[in-house]
Amino acid sequence: MYNKLMGCLKSVREKTDFVPEAAVVLGSGLGEFANEIEIVDTISYSDIEGFPVSTVKGHAGRFVFGYVEKTPVVIMQGRVHYYEGYPMQDVVLPTRLMGMMGAKKILLTNAAGGANESFKPGDLMIISDHITTAVPSPLIGPNIEELGTRFPDMSETYSKRLQTVIEVCAKELGIEMQKGVYVQFTGPNYETPAEIRLAQTWGGDAVGMSTAVEAMAARHMGMEIAGISCITNMAAGISKVQLNHKEVQETADKAAGDFKKLVAKVIVNM
Ligand code: HPA
């Protein structure tokens, strides 16, 4: 795996020598943000040898390199999901690659279902912690010693400092935030009402199919992590309506204005 990562890094370095300070992963329906920064370079995932390429509509699938004010960032416009059929180690390859490009901090974003009944669609949630019990760890397999230790600590996966940065930025923008625990399921099916009750008993506030494993891989290699969920729908069984991807995208679109302002401000201040 480390050789594969080094191969991908070489492929990136043949195209750009840009060194990001921060990495950003844009979730479903939130990818528009990358088009608004001062772009220096882009690389399609399909041009990186060995890179897992996403198949989901609405996931553009490229790295965007550039500046948000003075901060050099690499943005993943489109991510790779476990439900597409990749081994979990491939799912977190892009996260690790951004760390290897030089990013010391990472802002992870996603569209998620609200399991906390006080949430409403369109809310933005600061991720305070996560639960990955329902998905395999991306760290299973031989440890990549070059990146981190065999048994990494996860007691502060989402940096308290960065949670405060998000809070302060949101306040200055007049955006109300929720805060809570993200529970990852495999997808691609949405959860059953019974699974949502399980997530609630576990202490979960939002459910999704992506972010927690990326956070685990980023933490393993010592990156400082921030996470924001866009609550695009109430999770199964909470609202009476059936779930569909269109609703998820429409709500993400509606929240995109606030979301983009917040992400830009967080990047500058993280
Ligand atoms: N469940 C899982 N993932 C999701 C959801 C959901 O309800 N909404 C958006 N992503």
- Bridging pattern class, strands 62-68 and 71-77: antiparallel
- Bridging pattern class, strands 206-208 and 177-184: parallel
Give the chain's domains with CATH numbers.
2-269 (3.40.50.1580)
Which among 84, 100, 128, 134 is annotated as catalytic?
84
Question: Catalytic: 233?
Answer: yes
Ligand 1 surroundings by CB, under 6 angstroms? 111-113, 190-191, 207-209, 232-233, 235, 243, 248
Question: Catalytic: 154?
Answer: no
Model confidence, pTM = 0.95
How many helices and strands, by DSSP H and E, does the chain display? Answer: 7, 9
**pLDDT digit of tens for each residue in the chain (270 aa)?**
999 999 999 999 999 999 999 999 999 878 889 999 999 999 999 999 889 876 655 455 899 999 999 999 999 998 899 999 999 999 999 999 999 999 999 999 999 999 999 999 999 999 999 999 999 999 999 999 999 999 999 999 999 999 999 999 999 999 999 999 999 999 999 999 999 999 999 999 999 999 999 999 999 999 999 999 999 999 999 988 888 888 888 888 888 899 999 999 999 999
Tell the residue number behind the tokens 């990186």, with chain if given: 48
Ligand 1 center to residue 166 CA distance, Å?
22
